[in-house]
Every structure is written in structure tokens, then in C-alpha cells.
Chain A
């Protein structure tokens, strides 16, 4: 006899050994199938709700972020119109050392660059360790007072402006705080003198 024939006949014969009690097993199959279907539906519902919640949370965040990128000068908080500020316009750099808790806790230590434009716009460049919103904002000079809303988009600065007394000696610009409730901004502007880049 060939193997093929042996397989066909032998398997056919061997299969007859199985005589399941279908009537006993059917109710169990239906009951467990119902439970599984309910569980599957529940997981779909939970997944859908979670996805909708995530979308509901993410969409406003993304929209807000995109708006901030597209319109960096339009920031919430105090409006500060640019003024005749060419007197201290220029680019400056400052090396912040981790000398205070504010600088350490906020990852501010490192080289900062401050660009004060003649039209009253401030641009800041931070070390990589600093995670904050540096969208372009404004400053104004009135006499020896320097007012800025730099970091106004940063939640740590509570939507406020900072007022400083400024003094320039050669290529060095020094800010002394007059009033600023934002510790991060105060540390940034007044911890170290700023040195003109050009």
C-alpha cells in the first residue's frame, strides 16, 4: 500500500475516534461567545472614548502651538508696542552660571543671546537645557527704564512685564530689576551683565 493511500484511509478511520457531545457543548459556546462579544464591544467603546478624549485634548494644544509658531509676535498678555529704542539696540550675549536655584531648576545655565532690535522687538536664544517659550516679544526704553514682556508666553512668568534699570558701559549692558514678579526673567536679565556681540 502506498503512503498516500495509507494516509487517506488511516486518517479517515482515526478521525472516527472523535465523537464530541455537541449538544452539551453548544450552550457553553453561545454563552462564552456572548461574553467575548460584550468584552470586545466594551473595549471598542473604551478605545473610542479614549481616542476622542485624546483628540479633544490634543487639538486645542496643537492649534494653540501652530498659532504661536505662525504669529510669534502676537502673544497673549500685556501689549507692549515697540518704541524709539535704538539707543540700546544690538546683539548681546550672557553666560549664566548655575549660581542660583532659579537658574539650576529651570535649566538656564549656559550661553544666552539677546537681540534688541531698533523697532522694539526682542529675540532670545537659550541654551539647549532651557525649555521655555521664547517667541519674539517686545521691549521699550524710557529714560533709564527698560520694560519687556520677554518670556510672557512662558507659564512661569504669569503674563506680566518686567521693569529694569539699564546701564551701558562700553560693550556691556547691565540690567537692574525695578519690578518683575517673574523669577526666571529676573534671573535671565539681571544675573550677569550682557556683552555686545558687535
Chain B
């Protein structure tokens, strides 16, 4: 869906040539830069969060919270090389924290029906992943969906690299058993 006209990324129409001396202009440029990043990243981040939470609405809400944090720190984070990576990390941490808070619910979910996920989702895979602890789920998503190296997964989840490798292996073995698929040993 196209962005509302007032919020559409305006970098081509306006500012680069305009000196940012007037506060209003600076604010508009800031909003348009943020809007560009939002449009480019929101869907991807919310998909990653969804794969951790398996709840589409909550995934979008948590992603929204992460972007709100990004906006409130935009003056600083916009100077980073990859502001998108910053918001993605925040969203993943929020998602894992949320899942940890809801551990009791997670225990109930193990025995409940899988969430209604529209096709073409791999329902069996999602159902099996729901039996893993939230942080293991996050590790699998970051490594196999986001293609993050193990060191980066470890950094976001607050684990050591060897511990992350062990946990990924355990998670894959558990999934292998549940899905009756063969499990490779290499992680890297």
C-alpha cells in the first residue's frame, strides 16, 4: 500500500540541496528519512519477529515498538552505517523478552492447537518449533532465516559462541526428531 502523501519519503523532492538551518525543515527531513527506512524494513523485521513469536499481530506490535524506539533515538541512530540493523536487534530482543515473560503461556501453547497461520506457511515446522524454548526459536530464526553468523546470533541473545553452537545443534536435533528429518552436524 502506498504511503500517505504527507509521509512519503521526500528525499527526492526536497531537502538535500536545502540547508538545514530552519528547524522545521530539519524535522521534515528527519521524518522522511525515517519513513524511508520504515517502508524498507518494517515488513522484513516483523516477519523475523513473527517466526519467533508465531503470532502475527503481536509480531507487528513488537516491531512497531522497536521502530518507535528507533524514532525516539533517530538523531543518534540515523548516523550509524545500518540503522536497520539497530532496529532489527531491538525488535528481536523485545520479542525474546516478551516470550520469556510469557513462559507459562508457552507451556500451555505446547499442548494447544497451532495458531491459525495463513498458507503457504510450513505449519508442521512452526508447530515443532513451538515446542522449543523461545530463545532457541530465536536462534534458529536468526541463523537459518536471517542468515546471521553464529557470532552475531550469540551477541544478540547474550550467549557465548560455543554455547550458541551447542544450542543450535540441540534445537536441530529436537526438530529432526519431531519432523523425522535428518540432522547435519555443522554450524558456522
Contact = CB atoms under 8 A, between A and B. Distances in A.
Interface of A: 1-4, 6-30, 32-34, 36-37, 40
Q: Which among A4, A13, A18, A19 has the greatest number of chain B C-beta atoms within 10 A?
A: A18
Contacts, number: 135
Given A1-B181, A6-B181, A13-B121, A23 B64 contact: no
B182 A3 contact: yes
A20 B46 contact: yes
A88 to B, nearest CB: 72
Q: Which among A1, A9, A29 has the greatest number of chain B C-beta atoms within 10 A?
A: A29
Interface of B: 1-4, 7, 31, 34-35, 38-39, 42-43, 46-48, 50-51, 56, 59-60, 63-64, 67-72, 74, 117-122, 125-126, 140-141, 144-145, 172, 175-176, 179, 181-184
Contact of A8 (B63, B120, B144, B182): B144
A17 B50 contact: yes
A31 to B, nearest CB: 9
A15 B68 contact: no
A2 B2 CA distance: 40
A1 B3 CA distance: 41
Given A24-B1, A36-B72, A37-B72, A15 B47 contact: yes
Contacts of A30: 7, 31, 34-35, 71
A29 B68 contact: yes
A15 B118 CA distance: 10
